Amino acid sequence: MKVAVVKETAPGERRVALVPEAVAKLRAAGLEVLVETAAGDGSWLSDDAFTEAGATIAARDELAVAADVIVTVGRPDEQVIAGLRPGQALLGMLAPLPHPGFARRLAEAGVTAISLDLIPRTLPRAQPMDALTSQANIAGYKAAVLAAATFGRFFPLLITAAGTARPAKVLVLGTGVAGLQAIGTARRLGAVVSAYDVRPETKTEVESLGASFIELTSVGPASGEGGYARVLTEDERQAQQDELAGHIARHDVVITTAQVPGRRPPVLVTADALKSMAPGSVVVDMGASALGGNVEGSRPADTMVTENGVTVVGAGDLPSTMPAAASAMYARNVSSLLLYLVKEGSLAIDLSDELQRGVVITYEGQVVHPALSEPAGGTARVDGASD
Ligand code: NAD
């Protein structure tokens, strides 16, 4: 079976789906690996390093024709999608939920599509394949480091002959994988950290990292299915924003990580809350996306300074800013899933297996994932998202 790695072309994307170490592992299992010329450049991985690990370097056209499975980080570009042929498989973080038309198109093309971002994360055997977690850990770490680098004062308490610096007060909103990593990193840098999540069960994890958990009196628990949060009602959203504003005003740095699967990120920091922050404060919005983020007015991959001197960093794609670490971890996720799916040298899809049912979105000409086969994309569609 031939596994092909294409060079990512999305703006700002520097990761690559396999690194030489993972190539060697796949080769040892009897798979052939083709890597597009310069695919690893963004992660400082040369074509020679891939060749030494047993891969064949090839031009895109050649590799697309020969591949049995094309592996990617994000959704591939139109050139790759248009060139897919029946029987080929596509494996990557395809983010199919907000774009049901994409899955329909792959099904019609006879492509087996496997989306790593849908892996059933609570299955113990899926943990080595959990790319959402590996990339969220990187993003959470980088968010705290970025906040510290942007902040014009110290994170730790410093007592020097030239004066004493009080520790920064950091607030982390959303305490899933990324939020917990941001808390741990900010704590290691010496900040005093508080955190809030709409799922109260995260309180013990927050406290075990040395941060204090903020409980809002106006919003009850909003845990949804599978360990995720549910969407808040309009009244809950308003109450949450109002009560959070008081806490936000008392902090120097706010890092937001809140997500609800398949939905646009909830707004937690309103324009009024930004106005209440002291000049020099920093807000890092990890939810920033084209559809909006956790911070009103934040823009993805852009930094803005409000009239009252608050720096808002739109940081929705932090893993690609640490491409070497992110590619290495992602490649481990990809190779683990591939090795799980391959039997006797070829892809053996078995939809009676819970793990496979979670990740396989199209198979034998059909959209087979339950979250996508609901009429018109069901409840998963993000308002305003296109196919
Ligand atoms: P996520 O990226 O979907 O969301 C990040 C956080 O935002 C979550 O904690 C969520 O509760 C919070 N959030 C959403 N709306 C909010 C709002 N309006 N206000 C405040 N906070 C809000 O979450 P994630 O990091 O992917 O983690 C999701 C769950 O998956 C967690 O329960 C995590 O423990 C679990 N998980 C389990 C495993 C495993 O069992 N192996 C692995 C990874 C993650």
Phi/psi zone of residue 331: left (φ > 0), alpha (ψ -120 to 50 degrees), beta? alpha
* In contact, 232 and 198? CB cutoff 8 Å: yes
| pLDDT at residue 130, rounded to an integer | 98
Work out whether the CA dihedral 100, 329, 72, 334 comes out positive or negative. Answer: negative
Average pLDDT over residues 308-318: 97
Q: Which atom of ligand 1 is nearest to the CA of 126?
A: 41
Distance CA 135, CA 187 (A): 20
Q: How far is ligand 1, taken at its centre, from the CA of residue 134, in Å?
A: 13
> So what's the pLDDT on residue 324?
98
Pocket of ligand 1, candidates 198, 202, 240: which has the most ligand atoms within 8 Å of its Cβ, to mutate?
198
Ligand 1 centroid–CA 240 distance in Å is 17
Residue with CA closest to ligand 1 atom 40: 122
**pLDDT at residue 100 is higher than 90:** no
Q: Is the pLDDT of residue 376 over 70?
A: no
pLDDT at 378: 42
pLDDT at 261: 79
**Considering only CA atoms, which of 297, 231, 227, 217 is closest in space to residue 263?**
231
pLDDT digits (tens, 9 = 90+) for 142-188: 999 999 999 999 999 999 999 999 999 999 999 999 999 999 999 99
Ligand 1: residues with CB < 6 A are: 121-122, 127, 130, 132-133, 136, 173-179, 197-199, 202, 227-229, 232, 257-261, 266, 268
- The residue whose CA is least distant from atom 30 of ligand 1 is 227
pLDDT score of 381 more than 90: no
How remote is the CA of residue 380 from the centroid of ligand 1, in Å? 17
- Residue to mutate, 172, 199, 228, 232, ligand 1, most ligand atoms under 8 Å from C-beta: 228
Contact 84, 61 (CB under 8 A): no
Q: Cα(263) to centroid of ligand 1, in Å?
A: 13
Q: Compute the distance from residue 10 Cα to the ligand 1 centre, in Å.
A: 26
- Is 387's pLDDT higher than 60? no
Indicate if the pLDDT at residue 65 is higher than 70: yes
Mean pLDDT, the chain, rounded, equals 94
Predicted pLDDT of residue 373: 76
Tell me the average pLDDT across 25-53: 98
Burial (Cβ within 10 Å: 0-12, 13-18, ≥19) of residue 231:
middle
Element of type H or E holding 149: helix 131-150
* Pairwise CA distance, residues 260 & 93, whole Å: 17
For ligand 1, atom 18, the nearest C-alpha belongs to: 266
Exposed e or buried b per residue across 317-330, where buried means at least 16 C-beta atoms within 10 angstroms of its C-beta: bbbbbbbbbbbbbb
At residue 371, the 3 state secondary structure works out as coil
Closest residue by Cα to atom 7, ligand 1, is 258
DSSP string, 317-330: T-GGGSHHHHHHHH
223 CA closest ligand 1 atom index:
11
Model-level pTM?
0.94
pLDDT at 284 over 70: yes
Tell me the best of 135, 199, 294, 296 to mutate to test the pocket of ligand 1, counting ligand atoms within 8 Å of each CB and taking the most.
199
Segment 264-284 shows an average pLDDT of 97
pLDDT band of residue 374 (cuts 50, 70, 90) is low
Place of tokens 């959402």: 132
Using the predicted structure, report yes or no on whether residue 53 has a pLDDT greater than 80: yes
Model confidence at 60: pLDDT above 80: yes
What's the pLDDT tens digit per position in 72-88? 999 999 999 999 999 99
Residue 239: predicted pLDDT:
96
Angle between helices 323-341 and 20-28 (to 10 degrees): 10
Residue 384, pLDDT score: 44
Residue owning the nearest CA to atom 9 of ligand 1: 176
